[in-house]
Structure 1
Amino acid sequence: MKLVIIEPLGVEKEKLLSMAQEALSGRMEIVYYDTRTTDTNELIQRGEDADVIVVSNLSLNGDVIRGCRNLKLLSVAFTGVDHIDMAACRERGITVCNCAGYSTCAVADLVFGLLISLYRNIIPCDSVCRREGTKDGLVGFELEGKTFGVIGTGAIGLRVAAIAQAFGCRVLAFSRTVKEIPGITYVELDTLLEESDIISLHVPLNDATRGMIGAEEIQKMKKSAVLINTARGPVTDANALSEALKAGRIAGACVDVFENEPPVAADHPLFSAPNTIVTPHIAFATREAMVKRAVTVFENVKLYLKGTPQNVM
């Protein structure tokens, strides 16, 4: 059998291949590509005789899925699978496994890194300090005593909620599944939007969540509210968010995800919005998280070969 790692996974090649060999005990031929391509024909050429393909956040459309004739398993080195044509996988009977949990700590870390950077004006403070300036006009805010709204309480959402509590925040949550978690009060979405000083999104992208934060929802937020999106770009309406920020209807935004993977066009509406920090989809990307997900990727393959697959989507 043949396993193709169709794009780099953020771990040094030698270490990655050693991890694969150790997990799979030499049961598969392993081919590794250390470059990314979005060309459909090239992706088909890379995976056409693979039994297993390992992919991160590279988009695999239906043509690629159907062109990989021997494909039986996609081990996705990512939490979400909205970049995979799942209909084509079901049509072909291909098993798809994800890497749930590998980036929980990394994403939660970035949520608070972005928020504190915005609350304490760290980026403009750095700039003004280098120009021999002072703190004038740059006095910030504390987290203690704020109401922190978490939309989506999976593993990442719950970790964010726990950190928010450690900062002394009151935590509200909205999720399709209500859990009994000390210190978290589940409320309806409108209540969360109306009462929260900070709103952090942690939902997958699907038909129910696409555009869930649009102009109508933003209108319900406090003028002092900050919106954080480290989930998926299309969960929010970027144009509506930009307009709200420019009009002062909300106080700020921290955005790590967009409608497409970076590079993002320079004329993106959020790039001209005030009080906004943007990052190029880096929430999941720590050295520790890359190793964690590689472990899970190959464990997914190992268990599939044993007939006991895990993390099946």
Structure 2
Amino acid sequence: MRSAEDSPAAPVVAVVDCGPDDRPRLERLEAAVPTRVCDGPAEGGALVERAAGCAVLATLYTYTPVTEAVLDGLPGLRLVITRTAGSSHIDLGAAQRRGIAVATVPEGPTQAVAEYTIAAAIALSRGLPAAVASTARGEWDFTGFRGHDLGGRTLGVVGLGHIGARVAQLGQAFGMRVVGWSRSEKGLDGVEQVPLPALLQRAHVVSVNVALAAETHRLLDAAALARMRPDAVLVNTSRGETIDLDALCDLLRAGRLGGAWLDVVEGEPGLPAERLEALAAVPNLFVTPHISWHTHETLDRQFDGMIDRILAFCAQDHRTEEPHHASP
């Protein structure tokens, strides 16, 4: 950890959960404003200690909980920023009540997650995982792997924010009809806005791209999932809590859904081994370890976006020139 004594000025920014590969990406920030960089995960009192005396708390990972208790311990804090698109690890209500700004970098993972979504849709629609496994067993037989084109089929996008909008655009590029649903009822060129039940009933591919909130927790519950076409495929890159996973597995076991590709599951990371084994046994269910965003280009955009926002905040907030002093 770098202390205030290591810099000619007390730190303005605390990066509270730096990973081993993150340091080089923070050089521009450190060159511009006094910065304290702390390595590894932390929470609670340790997190307060790491950000003490700073005007800006920067978190790089969603496993770092910026709770009301943490905010109470940082009276000089004026901005909490995360390089991620989501902010579910930050108590937004507590920050608002204290007049603390919260910023994210929603554009960072957009392209990577949208491309992953289309790749997953193709893999499911063409049965690629099963075909690879069959060939590995020496079964050079194509007859059981007749799939579907994406072109001409209907893509249903649940959530039309940055990522959902890009998924819709890529779907259109493949010649898909696109229907969308958004809590904000925002419009998007070429996307037919429909109620969520209608979207689920019509779509051959359903992409879930909503932020996790009280309104989206179990948005696709058992009743909603049961509305989907029996040949439809589902891709979730948002948060695991948006879907009733047990209900989804029941549909797949019963052959009442074409397939599902999940980059997120409730309880990640660290699901019990028996839970992982049970999921692996569900037919046409594929789970990856939250990698849809994880590309070199995404990381560049995330860190650049975070640093740009921090520097803009410091430039307009003269109080960051005289941050609250406390022991790191």
TM-score under structure 1 normalisation? Answer: 0.89
User: Higher Cα Rg: structure 1 or 2?
Assistant: 2
> Which amino acid is 1:94 matched to?
I
CA shift, 1:209, in A, is 1.3
1:35 aligns with one of 34, 40, 53? 40
Give the conservation status (yes or no) of the 8 Å contact 1:201–1:229: yes
Q: 2 CA distance for matches of 1:60 and 1:255?
A: 26
Report % sequence identity.
30
CA shift, 1:88, in A, is 2.5
1:82-109 deviations in Å (ceiling 9; x for gaps) = 1111233233322111112111101101
Q: 1:251 to 1:118 in 2, by over 3 A?
A: same
Q: 2 CA distance for matches of 1:63 and 1:271?
A: 38
1:75 aligns with one of 81, 88, 99? 81
2:71 aligns with one of 53, 62, 65? 65
CA shift, 1:227, in A, is 1.2
- For 2:125, the equivalent position in structure 1 comes to 119
- For 1:191, the equivalent position in structure 2 comes to 198
- For 2:27, the equivalent position in structure 1 comes to 18
TM-score under structure 2 normalisation? Answer: 0.85
1:161 aligns with one of 165, 168, 175? 168
- For 1:258, the equivalent position in structure 2 comes to 265
Give the conservation status (yes or no) of the 8 Å contact 1:104–1:159: yes
After superposition, where does 1:283-298 map in structure 2 within 5 Å?
283-298=292-307
Structure 2 stretches lacking a partner, 5+ long = 1-10, 319-328
1:57-80 deviations in Å (ceiling 9; x for gaps) = 122222222233432211111111
Q: 1:183 to 1:44 in 2, by over 3 A?
A: same
Tell which deviates more after alignment, 178-187 or 48-57: 178-187
Q: 1 CA distance for matches of 2:301 and 2:51?
A: 24
CA shift, 1:288, in A, is 0.7
Q: 1 CA distance for matches of 2:68 and 2:185?
A: 35
- For 2:3, the equivalent position in structure 1 comes to none
Q: 2 CA distance for matches of 1:169 and 1:259?
A: 30
CA shift, 1:179, in A, is 4.7
- For 1:131, the equivalent position in structure 2 comes to 137
- For 1:272, the equivalent position in structure 2 comes to 281
1:187-224 deviations in Å (ceiling 9; x for gaps) = 12111111111111111111221111011111111100
2:12 counterpart of 1:8 = no
- For 1:95, the equivalent position in structure 2 comes to 101
Give the conservation status (yes or no) of the 8 Å contact 1:76–1:99: yes
1:152-199 deviations in Å (ceiling 9; x for gaps) = 111211111111111111111112344554432111211111111111
> Which amino acid is 2:237 matched to?
T
> Which amino acid is 2:57 matched to?
I
- For 1:231, the equivalent position in structure 2 comes to 238
SS in 1 for 2:115: helix
Q: 1:9 to 1:300 in 2, by over 3 A?
A: farther
- For 2:5, the equivalent position in structure 1 comes to none
Give the conservation status (yes or no) of the 8 Å contact 1:118–1:276: no
2:311 counterpart of 1:305 = no
- For 1:151, the equivalent position in structure 2 comes to 158
1:241 aligns with one of 236, 241, 248? 248
1:50 aligns with one of 50, 54, 60? 54
1:32-68 deviations in Å (ceiling 9; x for gaps) = 233224x433323322333211113122222222233
Q: 2 CA distance for matches of 1:259 and 1:180?
A: 30
Q: 1 CA distance for matches of 2:97 and 2:163?
A: 31
RMSD, aligned CA: 2.2
SS in 1 for 2:217: coil
Q: 1 CA distance for matches of 2:244 and 2:169?
A: 28
> Which amino acid is 1:288 matched to?
E
Q: 2 CA distance for matches of 1:214 and 1:88?
A: 29
Q: 1:70 to 1:260 in 2, by over 3 A?
A: farther
